Structure 1
């Protein structure tokens, strides 16, 4: 297959048009938020560790219009019906399905101190070109777009780190996915040509220039089109295993451990729990090494950390699938500087960093390898680090 992009629609224009069609008037404004690629640092966020994602060009947009009552109504291009609920009746148990993402944010704003007692209801319409189930955080893109839209429209005055917590709470309590805060932070704090180096314990964030374009490098996303869902068992089981390992080792979180602690961990833990712990400990170090190497040597030198991250996720954390392994191995065999699966695992996407001239070659070879194995045709496209959540209209 030829290289493709996901940008076949303009989500902002589609949100404006969809809002007018569903609600019969122009929206008061449109906000958008990007998906994200996690360059490195997988399953470290809920262990209070380090992550290094960046926002991508693909975005979710939300058009918002005011109402003269307390009703919240939400519609979208990817579902057939409007969902509505009285703001006074909104609880984590009162919504489900796709509407749990935007409506969960409205509930979570109140949990973070926003006074919603006197605000008026709103109509919302969502449109997106972030691939769903690809490990590019389409869910956080929804949450962050809605969070900023409601914060600004209702005049709540919450800062972006707090809005990231709002999005995480919505995903944890309303959607039921036990995810960390990385995705929301990347969407809200991202900048062009830069990654967000986030300490998930202190929530200190530093924007780090990536320099891919200046170095003649591209980051290729290989969406295996094997969908995953974080509200189901595999992700939760890994989190439970990490918590059990921390408890057995007498630490509050795995962030407190370093590679020198692994020998003791091997003696105290069963094999599976030890391997889960080893992934998190070594992945934290790989994040630190990647950021340091970017600064000292540039992006062309970070490949070994990407490669080692994939091996750790495949063998120690066991969250890869054959399609992801094939995508990574094929990219590496055809000259990629480094490659790894990205996202929570059990499907989704791989990423490969390479010189620009190799993009069509790797794209062709990965597609051919998938066809030879009888796998579903992958979607393959390049991404650039882009601006975070913003008001567009």
Structure 2
């Protein structure tokens, strides 16, 4: 995964594929068998619901991770990233096991190595490969750079070995890699969004059964803009807080006698909360149940062409994430406050929290002024300038070349 210090919008697909193939040739001395791409994602609404069997509404970004790859028949997996110093990481596929990625300690190679391991654990005949990774998905920004890397690798290995796996299957296997090999207890949203989104749509995903609908989403047609604001901060508090919040949600479901918090009806929320003594668990439950409700409301608005009315939902979602789930931070709050003060229709943090990115819905003519207001607010607080770009719903994972 690269550090993404480049332009605010990605290169053309043709340019990206050519750059990845050229990089592969430079590293390995010959051309790849193909180049596969998987996008990052931004979540319009539905945060911390996916590991509660809930509902989410992500869209794929035009920013992509590309995996140029060539099959090997000797069982050796060689991995190289254009954005990471240290050269080629060499592993043996049959020796891969959780906790031992053999990547020299810098961490990134555990993700593609984990995908190869997960495919083999599933009984799929995956052998060796050479991979060269190029990415313009911002890392540490809550935009799923790790999922993009996993899905791009899964697509490449699927293509090299003719596995015939669907996007949904590759998403599941990528999640297995991150959960069981890398050791991150993430939900399924990020990988499914990267694998299965379509251009011009958000993905309405039920994370319990992975049923999905593609809901049209074209803010520009309504003279609107959806901005992504990468705060460029990541607070260390987030390291263990994800697992703590997941455990609190599981405890809430246990206390309420349901398989997961998605099974708590919104209309019965007050009665359910009255049964929970722990104020922290109660707050976590309230966020998940109300956030699932906000996803349903957002879908209804989009399907009826009322995109502008998303603003209050975004603001309510941010307040819930800030107050009930306690995963916001001063920088994310600053984005929301300064953007809305400058006339944005709505804004909220997106992703896991404790840093990363926020989204801002603004009228297109006002978007430059909103962006300037956010940047000025950061400057006034002595913070690094945020990265800001417009989110356009892009395509999911696919083969780019040949």
Aligning the two structures, in what range does the TM-score lie when normalised by the shorter sequence? over 0.9
Question: Which residue of structure 2 aligns with residue 189 of structure 1?
Answer: 196
Q: Is the 8 A contact 1:6 1:130 kept in 2?
A: no
Does residue 347 of structure 2 align to residue 344 of structure 1? no
Residue 213 of structure 1: which of 215, 220, 233 is its match? 220
Question: Which residue of structure 1 aligns with residue 3 of structure 2?
Answer: none
User: How far 1:377 moved relative to its partner?
Assistant: 1.3
User: How far 1:358 moved relative to its partner?
Assistant: 1.3
What does the per-residue CA deviation read over 1:129-168, in whole Å, with 9 as the maximum and x for residues that have no partner? 0000001100111011111111111011111111110111
- Structure 1, unmatched stretches of 5+, are none
Q: Distance in 2 between matches of 1:212 and 1:297?
A: 10
What does the per-residue CA deviation read over 1:204-254, in whole Å, with 9 as the maximum and x for residues that have no partner? 011110121211111101100013689820111111111111111111110
Q: How many residues align?
A: 387
Q: Distance in 1 between matches of 2:277 and 2:191?
A: 33
Does residue 94 of structure 2 align to residue 88 of structure 1? yes
Question: Which residue of structure 2 aligns with residue 305 of structure 1?
Answer: 313
Does residue 83 of structure 2 align to residue 75 of structure 1? no
Residue 131 of structure 1: which of 138, 149, 156 is its match? 138
* TM-score between the two structures when normalised by the length of structure 2: 0.93
Q: Secondary structure at the match of 1:348?
A: strand
Name which of structure 1's ranges 165-174 and 43-52 shifts more when overlaid on structure 2: 165-174
Q: Distance in 2 between matches of 1:164 and 1:316?
A: 30
Name which of structure 1's ranges 265-274 and 42-51 shifts more when overlaid on structure 2: 265-274
What is the correspondence of 1:41-56 to structure 2 with a 5 Å cutoff?
A: 41-56=46-61
Question: Which residue of structure 2 aligns with residue 99 of structure 1?
Answer: 109
Q: Secondary structure at the match of 2:112?
A: helix
Residue 45 of structure 2: which of 27, 34, 40 is its match? 40
Question: Which residue of structure 1 aligns with residue 388 of structure 2?
Answer: 380
Q: Secondary structure at the match of 1:15?
A: helix
Q: Distance in 2 between matches of 1:91 and 1:300?
A: 49
Residue 164 of structure 2: which of 153, 157, 161 is its match? 157
- Structure 2, unmatched stretches of 5+, are 1-6
Does residue 8 of structure 2 align to residue 5 of structure 1? yes
RMSD: 1.6
Q: Secondary structure at the match of 1:386?
A: coil
Q: Distance in 1 between matches of 2:391 and 2:302?
A: 18
Q: Secondary structure at the match of 2:241?
A: helix
Q: Secondary structure at the match of 2:90?
A: strand
What does the per-residue CA deviation read over 1:94-117, in whole Å, with 9 as the maximum and x for residues that have no partner? 20510011111111112333133x
